[in-house]
Amino acid sequence: MTLGTTIWIVIFAVSALVFFGIAAIISVYGTKDLRNLLRESKKRE
Amino acid sequence: MNFHTIDWIILVAYLSVTVFIGIRAKKYVENMEGYFVAGRRVRAALGTATLIATEIGIVTFMYMGELGYVTGFSCFFLGIVGLIAYLIIGKTGFVVSALRRLKVITIPEFYELRFGRGVRLLGGIILFLGGVLNMGIFLKFDGIFLTETIGLGEDLLVVVMIIMLLVVVSYTVLGGMFSVVITDFMQFVVLAIGMVVATVATLMHVGFTDIANTVVQQFGEAGVNPIVNERFGWPFILWMMVASVATSALWQPAASKSLSSESPEVGRKVFLYTGLTLAGRYMIPMFWGVAALAMFGNSVSPSLAMPRLLGTVVPSGFLGLMIAGMLAASMSTYSAYMLAWSSVATRDIIGPIRKQELSEKTSIFLTRIIATAIGIFLLVFGLLYEIPATAFQYIALTGAMYSAGAFGCVAAGLYWKKANKVGAFSSLILGAVAPILFLVLEKSKDALPQWSHFLIDVNISGVLSFVLAAGGMILGSLLTQTSHPPVAIATFEQEAA
């Protein structure tokens, strides 16, 4: 492995982990947001 | 055939549930705001999930994978550039907060507020044409991905394209933005799981060392340095730096997610959180493309390599889940794009041409008809048109057709008091010229004199679109301040306060 390939692999690994981490958090909080959105919409009916 | 019974069960079950929920969402559409921007009640986490789901589909995986296969690691810089663009918007609220405050539904509505109805009509036409052309290759690339990963063979490409189209049109047309938001969220979750599975499966078959060695052997320095890579170079890097900010803030399918948010502050946060994931979601499919190069060598067609890799390395059962995730991502992209372009056609082209205002019911009806027509266009265009350059560059250039002029109009309209109607017209027209010339001239490049070949360089064409649009806005406005005095809008006072 050259220095260039090592740098990109490290950047890729960090970026992928950040993506998966945020995806997990958003999935949990997004479920709550979606419930609220549908509840409020039902109330307006 | 890579697919087994369990994969089919997962895929069919998922598609059925998605269509059912999407159509059920119709009951929440109580008026026009409900249809187009989900009643502007979307909060940060949900908004972020739907924006991410909109921005990734099979076609994005395909063109990112293709780039990884033909350029090695050097294309990873696009993830860094995009990350910076989103973080700038997310931290400053540049453009998106002001637009949300003005409560517009489409970007051309802002043109009318600031520059008059004529600019809205022209902006709407350019946005619609650029947007639909941009989307033109989606269905074909998605069809190639599915037939290759599932192992159906090229003969079934058209059948796969038609089935996908029917599924997406049905729930987008009926449910509007509520369907998009609900199904986007589901699709985001399934997609994220699919991406984890695909990445782990790839790494179990091809290690980092093999991939790195392949990049060095195949490309040398050009595999890690975008400046020396002949497909990129400085013109492409400069183009991407400007285009990333412009398209992030003003691309109608993405902007409509920000405009659907509960408040300008939430709209800004949606961009911030989405931006943090951007480098990862660009680089992951690019990495699959580079891994495909390490696994198959350079003898495979660039668009087929990445899906072939996934069809080979992902185990049965997980393959069904991954395809469901990919299909999910694509469906959310289609639905958001179809809704965005059909709402632009209804509200910004048909609306301004008619003397009477369209009723809410007529607006929604027309939007549904146009969304269906766009679907049929996708099928025909996808089957007949052969794209020049890489798919990524085609997408970026058709995007520039609209976003270059729009960036000039909206950024100057919001932050430069001297921006006027003439500047806006000039910016929109000049911003579209270079991409249109490229798409037309590229088909007859052998007949062109040597001096004009810069016009068929996709990267120079992209940079030119932004330079000309900015020049048109600045010169057009400054030269006509007396004959066409600028019209102020409330946002200036609000921003100052």
pLDDT band at B493 (very low <50, low <70, confident <90, very high): very low
Q: Check CB contact of A1 with chain B, cutoff 8 Å.
A: yes
Residue B491 pLDDT greater than 60, yes or no: no
Residues of A in contact with B182 (CB under 8 A): 34, 38
* Pair of tokens at residue B280: 């990862």
Region B372-381: mean pLDDT is 87
Q: What was the pLDDT predicted at A16?
A: 95
Which has the higher per-residue pLDDT, B175 or A22?
Answer: A22
- Residue closest to B187 by CA, chosen among A33, A30, A16: A30
Average pLDDT value over all residues in chain B: 84
In this complex, do B279 and A18 lie within 8 Å of one another by their Cβ atoms? yes
Region B8-27: mean pLDDT is 77
Closest by Cβ to A22, choosing from B46, B224, B276: B276
Closest by Cβ to B212, choosing from A9, A19, A22: A9
- Residue closest to B108 by CA, chosen among B134, B130, B88: B130
pLDDT band at B38 (very low <50, low <70, confident <90, very high): low
Q: Are B286 and B162 in contact (CB under 8 A)?
A: no
Region B44-72: mean pLDDT is 84
Q: Are B392 and B403 in contact (CB under 8 A)?
A: no
Q: Are B414 and B491 in contact (CB under 8 A)?
A: yes
Which has the higher per-residue pLDDT, B457 or B256?
Answer: B457
* Candidate from B339-348, B411-420, B471-480 with smallest mean pLDDT: B339-348
Residues of B in contact with A17 (CB under 8 A): 280
Q: What was the pLDDT predicted at B424?
A: 96
Residue B175 pLDDT greater than 60, yes or no: no
In this complex, do A12 and B41 lie within 8 Å of one another by their Cβ atoms? no
Q: Are B90 and A22 in contact (CB under 8 A)?
A: no
Closest by Cβ to B182, choosing from A28, A34, A45: A34
Q: Which helix (H) or strand (E) holds A40?
A: helix A3-44
CA distance to partner chain A, nearest, from residue B306 (Å): 17
Give every residue of chain A whose pLDDT is below 50, as ranges: none
Residue B363 pLDDT greater than 90, yes or no: no
Interface A–B counts its CB contacts (< 8 A) at 124
Closest by Cβ to A9, choosing from B38, B208, B221: B208
What is the crossing angle of helices B157-205 and B5-24, to 10°?
Answer: 120
Residues of B in contact with A16 (CB under 8 A): 199, 280, 283-284, 287
**Cα gap B414→B490, rounded to integer Å:** 10
**Cα gap B492→B497, rounded to integer Å:** 9
CA distance to partner chain A, nearest, from residue B216 (Å): 8
- Residue closest to B21 by CA, chosen among A45, A25, A34: A34
Residue range B267-280, pLDDT digits in tens: 787 778 888 888 99
Closest by Cβ to A15, choosing from B28, B212, B280: B280
In this complex, do A33 and B225 lie within 8 Å of one another by their Cβ atoms? no
**Cα gap B436→B455, rounded to integer Å:** 10
Q: Residue B40: which residues within 8 A CB-CB, separation 6 or more?
A: B33, B103, B259, B260, B261, B262
% residues pLDDT > 90 (chain B): 31
Secondary structure of B148-208 in HEC code, one letter for each residue? HHHCCCHHHHHHHHHHHHHHHHHHHHHHHHHHHHHHHHHHHHHHHHHHHHHHHHHHHHCCH
In this complex, do A45 and B192 lie within 8 Å of one another by their Cβ atoms? no
Q: What was the pLDDT predicted at B497?
A: 44
In this complex, do A37 and B43 lie within 8 Å of one another by their Cβ atoms? yes
**Cα gap B120→B297, rounded to integer Å:** 50
**Cα gap B2→B149, rounded to integer Å:** 7
Residues of A in contact with B209 (CB under 8 A): 1
Secondary structure of chain B in HEC code, one letter for each residue? CCCCHHHHHHHHHHHHHHHHHHHHHHHHCCCHHHHHHHHHCECHHHHHHHHHHHHCCHHHHHHHHHHHHHHHHHHHHHHHHHHHHHHHHHHHCCCHHHHHHCCCCCHHHHHHHHHCHHHHHHHHHHHHHHHHHHHCCHHHHHHHHHHHHHCCCHHHHHHHHHHHHHHHHHHHHHHHHHHHHHHHHHHHHHHHHHHHHHHHHHHHHCCHHHHHHHHHHHHHHHHCCCCCCCCCHHHHHHHHHHHHHHHHHHCHHHHHHHHCECCHHHHHHHHHHHHHHHHHHHHHHHHHHHHHHHHHCCCCCHHHHHHHHHHHHCCCCHHHHHHHHHHHHHHHHHHHHHHHHHHHHHHHHHHHHCCCCCCHHHHHHHHHHHHHHHHHHHHHHHHHCCCCCCHHHHHHHHHHHHHHHHHHHHHHHHHCCCCCHHHHHHHHHHHHHHHHHHHHHHHHHHHCCHHHHHHHCHHHHHHHHHHHHHHHHHHHHHHCCCCCCCCCCHHHHHHHC
Nearest CA in chain A to B72: A5
pLDDT band at B41 (very low <50, low <70, confident <90, very high): low
Q: Check CB contact of B263 with chain A, cutoff 8 Å.
A: no
* Pair of tokens at residue B86: 């989103």
In this complex, do A5 and B216 lie within 8 Å of one another by their Cβ atoms? yes
pLDDT band at B284 (very low <50, low <70, confident <90, very high): very high
In this complex, do A4 and B178 lie within 8 Å of one another by their Cβ atoms? no
Q: Check CB contact of A43 with chain B, cutoff 8 Å.
A: no
Region B275-304: mean pLDDT is 92
Residue range B74-133, pLDDT digits in tens: 999 999 999 998 888 888 888 888 888 887 878 888 999 999 999 999 999 998 998 899
Q: What interface predicted TM-score (ipTM) does this complex get? A: 0.88
